[in-house]
Amino acid sequence: MATTPEQRKAYIESGGVVCLYCGDSNLQTGDIDAQEMICQQVVCLNCKKEWTDEYTLTGVTTDDE
Q: Which parts of 1-65 are beta strand (E)?
A: 27-34, 38-44, 50-55
Residue 56 exposure: Cα atoms within 13 Å on the Cβ side:
2
* CA separation for the pair 55, 38 (Å, rounded): 5
The predicted pLDDT at position 65 comes to 67
Does position 10 have pLDDT exceeding 70, yes or no?
A: yes
* pLDDT tens by residue, 20-65: 999 999 999 999 988 888 999 999 999 999 999 999 888 889 998 6
Look up the pTM and report it: 0.77
